[in-house]
C-alpha cells in the first residue's frame, strides 16, 4: 500500500477541518429556519429587529454566506478545474453572485449595527467593502482572461469569506484562555477574524509570485 506524502496528509487534514467547520456553520444557519427572530445571535439584537431593513439584511447575509463558503472552497481544486471546467465556472458564478449581490451589501448594513461600538462597526463595514472589492476584481479579471490577477483576488476574497469561521474560532479561543468581557472579545474578533486571514492571503500570493 502506497503511503501518503506529507503534502497529501496536510491537504486531507485541511479538507476535513474545513468540512467540520462548514458543518458547524450549517448548524448555526439552520437555527434560523423557519425564519425566527428570537433565536441564537438575534436574541441580543432585539433592539434592531424592529427595523425591517436590518432583519431582511441579516437573513439574506446568513443564508447566502453559506453558498459563498461552499462554492468558494471548490474554486481552489485543481482537479475540478482540470477535469470539470464548466463546473468550476458555474460554482464560481454562484460564489460571486452570492457575495456581490447578496452577502457583501447586506454585511455592510449589519456592520452599521454591530455590537461593540464604533470600532466593531468600522471593522465589519470595512470587511464588507473589501469583500465586495476583491470579489468584483476577481470577476473582472477572469472576464479579461487575466488568470494570475483572478487567482490572486480570489485568494483575497476567499480569505475574507473564511472570516465567518475564523471570527467564531478566535472568539472561542479568547474566551477559553482569557475570559474577557463579552463586548471586549467582540471588539477584538471583529478585526482579528479577518485581518489575519488577509495577511496570510498576501503571504500566499507573495510566495506564489516568487
**174 band by pLDDT with thresholds 50, 70 and 90:** very high
Q: What separation in angstroms does the CA of 66 have from each of 1, 13, 133, 195? A: 38, 21, 19, 20
Q: What separation in angstroms does the CA of 198 have from each of 109, 112, 152, 166, 181? A: 22, 22, 12, 12, 26
Q: How would you classify residue 179: left for phi > 0, otherwise alpha for psi between -120 and 50, otherwise beta? A: left
pLDDT at residue number 6 = 81
Per-residue pLDDT tens for 117-173? Answer: 999 999 999 999 999 999 999 999 999 999 999 999 999 999 999 999 999 999 999
**2 band by pLDDT with thresholds 50, 70 and 90:** low
**102 band by pLDDT with thresholds 50, 70 and 90:** very high
Q: Is the pLDDT of residue 1 over 60?
A: no
Per-residue pLDDT tens for 24-77? Answer: 999 999 999 988 898 888 998 999 988 999 999 999 999 999 999 999 999 998
Amino acid at each position: 500500500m502506497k503511503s501518503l506524502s506529507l503534502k497529501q496528509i496536510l491537504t486531507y487534514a485541511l479538507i476535513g477541518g474545513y468540512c467540520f467547520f462548514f458543518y458547524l456553520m450549517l448548524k448555526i444557519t439552520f437555527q434560523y429556519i423557519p425564519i425566527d427572530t428570537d433565536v441564537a445571535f438575534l436574541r441580543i439584537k432585539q433592539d434592531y429587529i424592529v427595523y425591517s431593513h436590518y432583519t431582511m439584511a441579516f437573513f439574506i447575509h446568513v443564508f447566502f454566506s453559506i453558498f459563498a463558503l461552499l462554492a468558494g472552497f471548490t474554486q481552489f481544486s485543481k482537479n475540478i478545474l482540470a477535469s470539470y471546467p464548466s463546473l468550476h465556472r458555474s460554482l464560481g458564478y454562484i460564489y460571486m453572485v452570492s457575495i456581490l449581490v447578496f452577502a457583501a451589501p447586506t454585511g455592510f448594513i449589519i456592520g452599521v449595527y454591530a455590537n461593540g461600538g464604533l470600532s466593531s462597526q468600522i471593522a465589519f463595514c470595512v470587511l464588507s467593502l473589501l469583500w465586495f472589492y476583491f470579489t468584483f476584481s476577481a470577476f473582472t479579471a477572469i472576464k479579461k482572461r487575466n488568470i494570475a490577477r483572478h487567482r490572486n483576488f480570489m485568494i483575497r476574497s476567499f480569505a475574507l469569506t473564511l472570516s465567518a469561521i475564523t471570527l467564531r474560532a478566535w472568539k472561542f479561543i479568547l474566551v477559553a484562555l482569557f475570559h474577557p468581557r463579552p463586548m471586549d472579545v467582540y471588539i477584538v474578533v471583529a478585526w482579528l477574524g479577518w485581518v489575519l486571514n488577509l495577511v496570510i492571503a498576501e503571504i500566499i500570493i507573495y510566495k506564489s509570485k516568487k
